[in-house]
Amino acid sequence: MPKNTHVFNHWPGYSTADCQCCYCLYFPGKKKPCLLEICCCIEEREEALRREQGATNDLAQRKYTSAAAA
């Protein structure tokens, strides 16, 4: 694939900012507890956290290997 090709319809997934409670359908407000006992978005939250932690770990690994090579 050429270097300047744009891939359409590529969904990167939710970020941790997208999975905050204030955007939830069942969040009643700041001073009231959540209406659900178990979070309905827990799978998306875990996946977003795993993806973002993986991205930071990859970046740290690249910095470490480039510093060691120099």
Give the C-alpha separation, 63 to 41, whole Å.
Answer: 33
Nearest residue to 54 (alpha-carbon basis) of 11, 7, 9, 16: 16
Question: pLDDT tens track of the chain, all 70 residues?
Answer: 567 666 676 777 888 888 888 888 888 888 888 888 888 889 999 999 898 888 776 656 666 555 555 5
Look up the pTM and report it.
Answer: 0.59
